[in-house]
A and B are shown apart, each in its own frame.
Chain A
């Protein structure tokens, strides 16, 4: 078996939806 040389690594924050751009008051 040949393992792929480069496995994609994803940043943790890509897993979380950005729901609120900012808290403004």
Chain B
């Protein structure tokens, strides 16, 4: 029989920082709640950062995954439109430029994290990060 852990009945949880009320420290040291973050907070923090820069990742495709409660999202990243696929839980929130948090299943995000979310759709432009070239 497959090994059963006491927690196996619950769905895999998201990182704690997406829970409504989580305290987020911006690059300038200011503290904000995760639900209060704005696009400018990410942009300004990346400007201060010596290692990270903001990239835009456009959602090109969203499809179901064999993993329960998961989806595979294909992004075109940056000006070179590099194709990147990520498998995430449907409630995983992404930050859409000018809009805010969005997920494949806003209802689940709200239910599990209390974070209000829009529906992530093809064409949405999400904030992503790349490492600044260090070489």
B contacts, CB < 8 Å to A:
15-18, 22-27, 31, 34, 37, 41-42, 45, 49, 52, 55, 57, 75, 77-80, 82, 84, 86, 94-95, 127-131, 133
Contacts and interface: CB of A to CB of B under 8 A. Distances in A.
23 contacts: A8-B16, A8-B22, A9-B23, A9-B25, A9-B31, A10-B22, A10-B23, A10-B24, A12-B37, A12-B42, A14-B15, A15-B95, A16-B128, A16-B129, A18-B131, A20-B77, A20-B78, A20-B82, A20-B84, A20-B128, A22-B131, A23-B79, A23-B133
Contacts of A7: 23
A13 B31 contact: no
B131 A21 contact: yes
A22 B128 CA distance: 12
A19 interface: yes
Contact of A13 (B18, B49, B82): B49
Contacts, number: 78
Residue from the set B24, B27, B78, B95 with the largest chain A CB neighbour count within 10 Å? B24
A11 B49 CA distance: 12
Chain A interface size range = 10 to 19
A24 B74 CA distance: 20
Given A10-B24, A21-B131, A16 B78 contact: no
Contacts of B78: 20, 23
